[in-house]
Amino acid sequence: MLKIEIQPNWVLRDAKGMSTALPAVLALLTAVSKLGSISRAATDCGMSYRHAWGLLREFSTQFGAELVLKVRGQGTVLSPLAEKLIWADKRIAARLTPILDSLASELQQELASVLRELAPQPLRVTASHGFAIAALMTALETQGVTVDLKYRGSTEAVAALARSECDLAGFHVPVGALGAAVAASYTPWLDPKQHALIHLAYRMQGIFVAKGNPKGIAGLADLARPGVRFVNRQLGSGTRVLLDLLLSGQGIASASIAGYASAEFTHAAVAAFVGSGMADVGFGVETAARHFNLDFIPVIREQYLVACHSKALGTPMIATTLDIMQSAAFKATLEDLPGYDGTLCGTPMKMEDALS
């Protein structure tokens, strides 16, 4: 079956109601930023130099400001306006991608229901969004497994499994003393007699700061300093629960942190906010920080787990999932993610060990 993808698309509309889509010029600006040359950027985007210049002139006219500037010794660089556009696009993609992926999966299953005789039974996955689980979904689809994916908070994921609304639930638990406290929000939904746990990856959570750490952030206590703007994850997310516990353990009142009530739905969205200068600091997984060229201050290691019904372990789809997780190729994929450790990927876990 064909795979459906839904992508955000900017539209610029003038006073007369005329609209122009921005993806082409955003891709061109991104290439200019990377290559420092309009001609090389045009080639990279598969367009002629003349067409590239035409796009830049057209949008510069519409915005009333230049998008690129010639700088002696640096070649062609982006103007402040273009930089804002690029970062806005990154924030939009980081914020919406999990939501759109879930919607695309939902739409794909609706179409499959019409063509049920042609479509295989999907593997239903409800999971906390993360880079390792996203990589697993890609690997499954590459192997021909149809996935019905919903990104939700960790607690929502295990609750969905308990209600038999999904086949796999993805969630994360810190390693060490805080593990039991975080696990307390999951254990009402997980029964050792009915459910099995499988280790997906270890990952590092910590503090995101701009390159060079201009605010001099050294640890969680600095989040409450005057003049420090924080961007948070949404209520109910495993990372928000973890951060609440970390702050409580250090006697730091969340009300003293500017921006603590903000809510972003992915690690990447938090990193994009910090990278764009809209916040000074965030909290999340190291991979997101490195993706947006941020500095990262490690705070705590955790493990990402997937849960399923014990009786489903022998089914073809779960068996295929385990084969992928245990493969050298997939473990190598996880090792390429900054802050992730895939050494034990695919290892069955005793519930009392994983959630203690």
Q: Are residues 74 and 109 in the same domain?
A: no
Residue 83: inside a domain: no
C-alpha to C-alpha distance for 214 and 51, rounded to whole angstroms = 40
Q: Is the pLDDT of residue 235 over 90?
A: no
- Whole-angstrom distance, CA of residue 211 vs CA of residue 114: 50
If asked whether residues 55 and 194 sit together in one domain, one would say no
pTM of the model as a whole: 0.81
List pLDDT tens digits, range 153-198.
899 999 999 999 999 999 999 998 899 899 988 999 999 999 999 9
CB 258 within 8 A of CB 177: no
Same domain for 210 and 350? yes
Domain that holds residue 169: 88-354
Residues 154, 174, single domain; the answer is yes
111 domain residue, yes or no: yes
State whether 93 and 58 are in the same domain: no
Classify residue 15: in a domain, yes or no.
Answer: no
Same domain, 42 and 180: no
Count of domains for the chain? 2
261/317 same-domain check = yes
Distance of CA 225 to the CA centre of its chain: 28
- C-alpha span between 212 and 202 (Å, rounded): 27
Is residue 49 located within the same domain as residue 142? Answer: no
Query: Is residue 14 situated within a structural domain?
Result: no
Is pLDDT of 249 > 90? Answer: yes
Q: Where are the beta strands (DSSP E) in the chain?
A: 11-13, 19-21, 68-71, 75-78, 123-127, 147-151, 168-174, 195-209, 230-231, 281-285, 295-309, 340-341, 348-349
Burial environment of residue 152 by CB neighbours within 10 A (0 to 12, 13 to 18, 19 or more): buried
CATH number of the domain that 67 lies in?
1.10.10.10
Kindly report the CATH number assigned to the domain that includes residue 248.
3.40.190.290
The Cβ of residue 175 has, within 10 Å, a number of other Cβ atoms equal to 11
Give the confidence band of 63 by pLDDT, cuts at 50, 70, 90. confident
Same-domain status, 72 and 160: no
Q: Does the structure show a pLDDT above 70 at 28?
A: yes
Which of 78, 105, 122 terminates a domain? The answer is: 78
Q: What is the pLDDT of residue 161?
A: 97
Residue 9 lies in a domain: no
Mean of per-residue pLDDT scores for the chain: 90
Closest by CA position to 244, among listed 261, 227, 267? 261
Q: Say what the pLDDT of residue 117 is.
A: 55
Over range 217-239, report the average pLDDT: 94
Q: Is residue 160 part of a domain?
A: yes
Domain boundary among 9, 44, 78: 78
Confidence of residue 99 (pLDDT cuts 50, 70, 90): confident
**Helix and strand tally (H, E) in the chain?**
13, 13
In a shared domain, residues 50 and 191? no
Query: Tell me, what's the pLDDT at 18?
Result: 66
Is the per-residue pLDDT at 278 higher than 60? yes
pLDDT beyond 70 at 315:
yes
Name 123's bridge partners.
Answer: 147
* 114 plus 69 within the same structural domain: no
